[in-house]
Amino acid sequence: MQTLISITRRTVLFTALAVTFALAGPAGAEKILRVANFGEPESLDPHKVSGVWTHRVLRDIFMGLTTEGQGGETIAGAAESWTVSADGTVYTFKIRDHVWSDGKPVTADDFVYSFRRILLPETAAEYASLMYPMKNAEAINTGKAAAETLGARAIDARTLEVTLRAPTPYFLTQLTHYTAWPVPKHVVEKHGDAWNKPGTIVGNGPYLLEEWVPSTHVKLVRNPKFYDAGSVKIDRVVYYPGEDRVAGQKRFRAGEVEIATDFSSDQIDWLHKNLPKETRIAPYLGIYYYPINTTKAPFNDKRIRQAMSLAINREAITNKVLKSGEIPAYSFVPPGTPNYASGPSYMQWKGISYKERLAQANKLMSEAGYGPDNPLKFTLSYNTSENHKRIAIAVAAMWKQIGVQAELFNSEVKVHYDALKSGDFQVARAGWVADYPDPQNFLFLLESKSGSSLNYGRYDNNEFNSLMDKAGVTSDLDARAMLMAKAEAQAMEDQPVIPIYYYVSKNLVSQRIVGWVDNARDSHPVRFLDLK
């Protein structure tokens, strides 16, 4: 037995070394980066997607007016420069002299077309509300104004003017998000919905789509027409969508991928001991939470939602279940979020003991008509992940203490989020990572905007909506922050969502990777990476 194990280890080592040398190769050999991405892209149309797993792929193909730098900072992208009016509402961008991957020039009109397209009601873009800072954007998206009234116009082929409804401190950073990326008008109009398929898709980013086999891989190849192609070191990128974190870790250990964008937290002790340099954990501007469907009885009763939140021992989840640096969450907006001097607004009971919280939760459940003799039964849904499952099991056990029986239901990530967006759930797992560092990018998830599918629990509170509307047109940053803090306090009282913990990013990164910089946005564009 000892000899057989020894031979097997040597074989695995020889194979891993052979793969390493084959990929690294002699000088000038092709460099291929392989990534365990843990999610299948819904589409490669920037106006019809969501999810960080899709964002990773799309940012290799497209580039907005501004883009993400090596450390997640906002840098010049398709716009080489810009000016801002004295009142902070008019931005004038000078479009960089660059082309689409088919050789056609990228123009200011491409951006005007793209901004209008994502806002058109028929596009049905679930992220369209991110464009609402632009003048008349909301009216266009809700069918109350024509697309031509949008505050965006091409002064000439390389000069774009954007007018906002009010000063927006995060606007330049927001433009790094895929909702603000250009799509090629000439290709979209020629091919319709099929424009973003292999063989027809055209982008202005550092890579081109080479092949997409659903549930298997997405392959990209370097774009020779990218404006900065000479500085792009990696020739090909392969994204694997499998959602099994343990399997992804095994592939990483076997040398089959150079990056795994997540790992199962129950492996943290082993990883720290055996792969300390490859295990990268960093602060991350995001929230892990449970939305509650407030339109379905009995969850339209605020007392039940409050009791369920009170009964969750967040410290036990972060310290005993996850053990990888996550922070217990008692607000929806993470602490340290920029432009939020007065926030976050924590739940009022944050400082009391867990024993006291359980007593309050049981009292609320009793008042609502539930208890040991009449337990509340419902389904808790989560998408495929060992971590999500372990958290759901722990939360379900905590809820049993207040007469709540949760049946767990698991589905793949696309199916899970489709159910959330359509409101087809009772209580579910969700997560949100900031598209731009501002409290509005979290709180807008709870606004009852027409057509928004990101307010999963269909929360609708007039006071909350009114405060957010006022904040949207308030230019004074301190006054704006106070309005949003009041809005968050209202939401934490109503508890349409249960914050559980603030994220940390968790990556496995091969020591062959050069140029990786840990950052709060967990942004690592491939164009800035290299392989030893």
Is 51 a residue whose pLDDT tops 90?
A: no
Higher pLDDT, 451 or 500: 500
Residues 6+ apart with CB under 8 A from 414: 39, 40, 42
Angstrom distance (rounded) from CA 339 to CA 504: 21
Which of 125-129, 418-422, 466-470 shows the lowest per-residue confidence on average (mean pLDDT)?
A: 125-129
Same structural domain for residues 424 and 301? Answer: yes
pLDDT band at 13 (very low <50, low <70, confident <90, very high): very low
- What is the mean predicted confidence (pLDDT) over 320-338? 93
Residue 315 has a pLDDT of: 97
Q: Which residues are paired to 424 by β-bridges?
A: none
Which of 55-59, 471-475, 510-514 shows the lowest per-residue confidence on average (mean pLDDT)?
A: 471-475
- What is the mean predicted confidence (pLDDT) over 226-250? 96
Q: How far is CA 360 from CA 301, 366, 375, 399, in A?
A: 16, 10, 17, 13
CATH number of the CATH domain containing 102: 3.90.76.10
Higher pLDDT, 124 or 17: 124
Residue 453 has a pLDDT of: 85
Question: Could you give the 3-state DSSP secondary structure of residue 353?
Answer: coil
Last residue of a domain, one of 192, 227, 262: 192
- From the number of C-beta atoms within 10 Å of its C-beta (0-12, 13-18, 19+), residue 297 rates as exposed
Highest mean pLDDT among 47-51, 67-71, 125-129: 67-71
CA angle 74, 217, 416 (to 5 degrees): 75
Question: Based on the structure, what is the number of domains in the chain?
Answer: 3
Asked whether residue 186 is domain-assigned, the answer is yes
Residue 4 has a pLDDT of: 31
pLDDT band at 341 (very low <50, low <70, confident <90, very high): confident
Same structural domain for residues 269 and 307? Answer: no
Asked whether residue 402 is domain-assigned, the answer is yes
Same structural domain for residues 515 and 425? Answer: no
pLDDT digits (tens, 9 = 90+) for 380-406: 999 999 999 999 999 999 999 999 999
Q: To which residue do tokens 């050789």 refer?
A: 103
User: What does the block give as tokens for 315?
Assistant: 């410290």
Residue 372 has a pLDDT of: 83
pLDDT averaged over the chain?
92
Residue pair 321/391 in contact by the 8 Å Cβ criterion: yes
Is 26 a residue whose pLDDT tops 50?
A: no
Q: How far is CA 227 from CA 96, 101, 154, in A?
A: 9, 10, 21
Asked whether residue 7 is domain-assigned, the answer is yes
pLDDT band at 343 (very low <50, low <70, confident <90, very high): confident
Is 126 a residue whose pLDDT tops 70?
A: yes
Residue 247 has a pLDDT of: 95
Angstrom distance (rounded) from CA 396 to CA 389: 10
Asked whether residue 55 is domain-assigned, the answer is no
Is 421 a residue whose pLDDT tops 60?
A: yes
Asked whether residue 204 is domain-assigned, the answer is no
- What is the mean predicted confidence (pLDDT) over 139-161? 97
Residue 261 has a pLDDT of: 97
Same structural domain for residues 299 and 439? Answer: yes
Same structural domain for residues 271 and 395? Answer: no
- What is the mean predicted confidence (pLDDT) over 432-440? 91
Q: To which residue do tokens 């290299």 refer?
A: 530
Asked whether residue 29 is domain-assigned, the answer is yes
- The per-residue b/e assignment along 357-388, b for 16 or more CB within 10 angstroms, e otherwise, is bbebbbebbbebebeeeeebebebbbbbbbbb
Angstrom distance (rounded) from CA 197 to CA 214: 12
Pick left, alpha or beta for residue 345 (phi over 0 → left; psi -120 to 50 → alpha; otherwise beta). Answer: beta
Same structural domain for residues 333 and 393? Answer: yes
- What is the mean predicted confidence (pLDDT) over 45-68? 95
Residue 452 has a pLDDT of: 73
Angstrom distance (rounded) from CA 320 to CA 313: 11
Same structural domain for residues 343 and 293? Answer: yes
- What is the mean predicted confidence (pLDDT) over 350-373? 95
Is 28 a residue whose pLDDT tops 80?
A: no
Same structural domain for residues 118 and 263? Answer: no
Asked whether residue 56 is domain-assigned, the answer is no
- What is the mean predicted confidence (pLDDT) over 122-133? 92
Angstrom distance (rounded) from CA 467 to CA 490: 10
CB atoms within 10 A of CB 122: 7
CATH number of the CATH domain containing 359: 3.10.105.10
CATH number of the CATH domain containing 236: 3.40.190.10
Residues 6+ apart with CB under 8 A from 10: none
Is 191 a residue whose pLDDT tops 50?
A: yes
Residues 6+ apart with CB under 8 A from 186: 104
pLDDT digits (tens, 9 = 90+) for 494-530: 999 999 999 999 999 999 999 999 998 999 999 999 9
pLDDT digits (tens, 9 = 90+) for 249-290: 999 999 999 999 999 988 999 999 999 999 999 988 999 999
Is 5 a residue whose pLDDT tops 50?
A: no
Question: Could you give the 3-state DSSP secondary structure of residue 317?
Answer: helix
- The per-residue b/e assignment along 71-97, b for 16 or more CB within 10 angstroms, e otherwise, is bbebebbbbeebeeeeeebebbbbbbe
Same structural domain for residues 482 and 511? Answer: no
- What is the mean predicted confidence (pLDDT) over 117-133? 93
Give the domain range for residue 188: 62-192
- Is the peptide bond prior to 344 cis by the omega test (within 30 degrees of 0)? yes
Same structural domain for residues 454 and 465? Answer: yes
Last residue of a domain, one of 158, 192, 226: 192
Residue 83 main-chain phi, psi, to 5 deg: -130, 155
Same structural domain for residues 270 and 407? Answer: no
Residue pair 477/343 in contact by the 8 Å Cβ criterion: no
Q: Which residues are paired to 239 by β-bridges?
A: 35, 218
CA angle 507, 49, 284 (to 5 degrees): 30
Residue 336 has a pLDDT of: 87
Is 235 a residue whose pLDDT tops 50?
A: yes
Same structural domain for residues 444 and 298? Answer: yes
Asked whether residue 8 is domain-assigned, the answer is yes
